[in-house]
Amino acid sequence: MLTRRDFLAGSTAVAIATGTRLERNLGGETRAELPRGKAEHCVFVWLGGGQGHIDTWDVKTKGDPKEKKPGSYYDSIETAVTGTRVCEHLPRCAKILDRFNILRTVNHDVIDEHAAATNRMHTGRPTSGTEQYPSIGSIVAHQRGTMTEGVPAYVLMGYPNVTRGPGFLGPKYGYVHLTDTKSGPPALKRSVGITDERQARRDKLLNAVRDDLRERGVREGFAAEYDAAIAAAQKLAGPEFMRLFDLDREPADLRNGFGGEFGQRCLLARRLIEGGVRFIEVSHNLNFLNGTGWDVHNDGILNQHKLIAELDQALAALVLDLENKKLLDKTLIVVATEFGRPAQFDGGGGRGHHGKCFSVVLAGGGLKNGVTIGETDELGMKIVSRPVSVPDLHATIHCALGINPREEIFAGNRPVPITDDGEPVRELFA
């Protein structure tokens, strides 16, 4: 039986918790304690497959796959940040690492499951059987919106799946998916053979469908949501957005400096930022230079250096280009992956999966750059100091963009904090 004393104690606890949430949302003292950055945009570079931290940003003593000696696959080199070394195949980024921050102790508990780990890194939460949580891109779109009329808030140059989507926030905060850096989203263009006359007949038929829905009492919101989506698509088909894809306007030397298709997507990201897009995800495992992308089991690791070098060229070019355009302090670059790789080599000489500690890299964003956060052990297998959870990473990104990570958004009538109790990495804020 619930006693009167138990009931009063429980009610008091609920009231305190509710008051704390209200204080956070209404701008009280708790919210004032959070750092607030000045970034206006985010470029989220996604290394799908699981980039090995000990072969890139957290290099350890060199191992030997033939002798089954655990360790890094490559030698390390000095960087512009004293005491921080990175892989020898990252020379361009090494020279300008004072514009970067390395978080070497990001971690989660997902084991051997790419999809679940990708969902964790994009939403900041475990996979739920009852609720699809919004991706970080959709939350930024919801909180900050677009800066310019006629362009979307969120653009995806990667894999269009539910992990990247708006979840319970609804389609208004979804992404515009790009498959071609040269011509823009094909879905926004009128198909070949659709003349003005034919389009007019289609519009007339659509109006008849709308009238029929109203007569049959179908909820008004359904048609309104559809009309809003059509109106938004028509705006995106206008010249303000489509001109951003004309990469030929850029100097040839600059385009060549970015490298191949992945580099061109990074250059396009800068143009999208100039156009007012708030959040851009760019995937890097497009060409599979090593046959497997970042998922380097077995002999997929043999040509991993080509993938690292391609990332190095494009990422360094993006940082310097944004800096030259006076946009680096306004743009937070995040280089993330679903998990790292263990120091041990598998039977084929490659590596398995490791989520207990791995590296995420930030650049620009008006942060206190040139700071390396966290330390792992001699094999990069365990955290020695300063762990950073995935919610902490998300809170850091949100704070850099001027978003309160403790604010509540709503899944229907249910309040959901933007991050799952994440705390920003305060050392990165001046």
Return the pLDDT at 123.
98
pLDDT at 26 (0 to 100): 39
In degrees, rounded to 5, the angle at the alpha carbon of residue 400 between the alpha carbons of residues 373 and 271 is 110
Residue 248 to residue 211: CA distance in whole angstroms: 46
Calpha distance 282→259 (Å, rounded): 15
Nearest 10 degrees: Cα torsion 270, 274, 276, 278:
30
Q: List Cα–Cα distances, 294 to 217, 300, 302, 340, in angstroms.
A: 52, 8, 11, 10
Sign of the C-alpha dihedral, residues 370, 376, 380, 381?
negative
First to last CA, the chain: 54
**How confident is residue 13, by pLDDT bands cut at 50, 70 and 90?**
very low
| pLDDT exceeds cutoff 80 at 48 | yes
Euclidean distance between CA atoms 269 and 74, whole angstroms = 30
Is residue 129 very low, low, confident or very high in pLDDT (cuts 50, 70, 90)?
A: confident
Of 7-16, 229-238, 322-331, where does mean pLDDT reach its minimum?
Answer: 7-16
Average pLDDT over residues 9-26: 46
Can you state the angle between helices 136-144 and 390-400, rounded to 10 degrees?
A: 30
Furthest C-alpha separation in the chain: 78
154, β-bridge pairs: 279
Q: What is the pLDDT of residues 324-333, one digit of tens each?
A: 999 999 999 9
What integer is the mean pLDDT of 167-195?
78
Cα 352 from Cα 382, distance rounded (Å)? 15
272 versus 190: which is more confidently predicted? Answer: 272
pLDDT of residue 21: 47
Q: What values do phi and psi take at 29, rounded to 5?
A: -60, -40
402-426: pLDDT as tens digits: 999 999 999 999 999 999 999 999 9
Measured distance CA(188)–CA(174) in Å, rounded: 15
Question: What are the tokens at 371?
Answer: 């700071």
Q: Domain limits of the chain?
A: 1-33, 37-182+246-428, 190-236
Tens digits of residue pLDDT in 350-403: 999 999 999 999 999 999 999 999 999 999 999 999 999 999 999 999 999 999
- % of the chain beyond a pLDDT of 90: 70
Q: What is the pTM of this model?
A: 0.86
Give whole-number Cα distances, 230 to 188, 210, 224, 225, in Å. Answer: 10, 13, 10, 9
List C-alpha distances in Å: 17 to 14, 61, 79, 395.
5, 48, 46, 20
Lowest model confidence (mean pLDDT) among 51-55, 204-208, 221-225, 380-384: 221-225
**Cα–Cα distance between 219 and 210 in angstroms, integer?**
11
CA distances to 46, 255, 258, 419, 423 from 393, rounded to whole Å, are 14, 32, 27, 9, 8
Report strand pairing: 331-336 vs 41-46.
parallel
Superfamily of domain 37-182+246-428: Alkaline Phosphatase, subunit A (3.40.720.10)
At 205, the pLDDT band (50, 70, 90 cuts) reads: confident
Q: What pLDDT score was predicted for residue 214?
A: 74
More confident site: 79 or 178: 79
Residue 291 and residue 303 in contact, taking contact as beta carbons nearer than 8 Å: yes
Please answer whether residues 106 and 388 qualify as being in contact, where contact means their C-beta atoms are separated by less than 8 angstroms. yes
Exposure of 101 by Cβ count < 10 A (0-12 exposed, 13-18 middle, 19+ buried)? Answer: buried
Tokens read off for 112:
């051997």
Q: How far apart are CA 396 and CA 389, in angstroms?
A: 11
CB atoms within 10 A of CB 7: 10
Q: Is 179 helix (H, G, I), strand (E, B) or coil?
A: coil
Distances (CA, A) of 43 to 40, 334, 359: 11, 6, 17
Give yes or no for a contact between 96 and 80, defined as CB atoms under 8 angstroms apart. yes
Least confident span in 17-31, 73-87, 245-259: 17-31
